[in-house]
Structure 1
Amino acid sequence: MAVEALSPKEIEERLGELPGWVVEGDRLTRSYRLGSHFAAAALVMHIAGIQDRLDHHSDLTLGYDTVSLSVHTHSAGGVVTGKDFALAREVEDVAPGHGAH
């Protein structure tokens, strides 16, 4: 099944459900700050598991006490799709458990 790009209106509506997430260029992005490097690394590992399960992977960056994600759907031509928002929703659901804000 082909994955379709979301319209600007659809993106705006979905962003309203995910505070902290923004679209930069052709990517859905978010950065989190955590209490320590260990907490940030643990969140990265949790996100890696989610991405493998969804078979949808972001660019994931680990800083000392930060984690940043940037994602779009390569199979749809590098645009933002529902797959990106599904990943973002799952990350948003687990991030507070790691102390992310």
Structure 2
Amino acid sequence: MSKLSEQDIEKRLLRLPDWEYYDDAIHGEFEFENFKDCFSAMSRIAFECEALNHHPNWTNVYNVLTISLSTHSENGVTAKDFDLANAIEHIVEPEEE
């Protein structure tokens, strides 16, 4: 998997408004109602990470989850990062039924 150009990254980010690109990674920050909801989302995200064999740098402070995605072997952002970002979006922002 090869590193994406900055132009490709910015184009893909148009579909992920909660994410930003800087420091050779894409970053998202998500606020939940409380710690339990945040930790629950982190647990669900962990299963996606394992399924994709791709793991984020993330931090959690009470009800806020901060995530940074990059592909370390490519020293930057690849399609793999966007696959995981999309999976994360479906977990933290479920579609209205």
Scaled by the length of structure 1, what TM-score is found? 0.89
Tell me if structure 1 keeps the 8 A contact 2:58–2:67: yes
Describe the SS at the equivalent of 1:92: helix
2:29 matched to which residue of 1? 31
Which residue identity lines up with residue 92 of structure 1 in the other structure? E
1:79 matched to which residue of 2? 76
Which residue identity lines up with residue 62 of structure 2 in the other structure? Y
Tell me if structure 2 keeps the 8 A contact 1:4–1:81: yes
Structure 1: which 5+ runs fail to align?
A: none
- Partner residue of 1:43 out of 28, 41, 44: 41
Residues 29-78 of structure 1, C-alpha deviations (whole Å, 9 max, x = no match):
100000000000001101111100000000121110011110100121x2
Which residue identity lines up with residue 25 of structure 2 in the other structure? R
Kindly state the Cα deviation for residue 24 of structure 1 after the two structures are TM-superposed. 1.7
User: What is the root-mean-square deviation of aligned Cα atoms in Å?
Assistant: 0.9
The sequence identity of aligned pairs, in percent, is: 31
Tell me if structure 2 keeps the 8 A contact 1:44–1:60: no
Which residue identity lines up with residue 13 of structure 2 in the other structure? L
Kindly state the Cα deviation for residue 96 of structure 1 after the two structures are TM-superposed. 2.1
Tell me if structure 1 keeps the 8 A contact 2:10–2:21: no
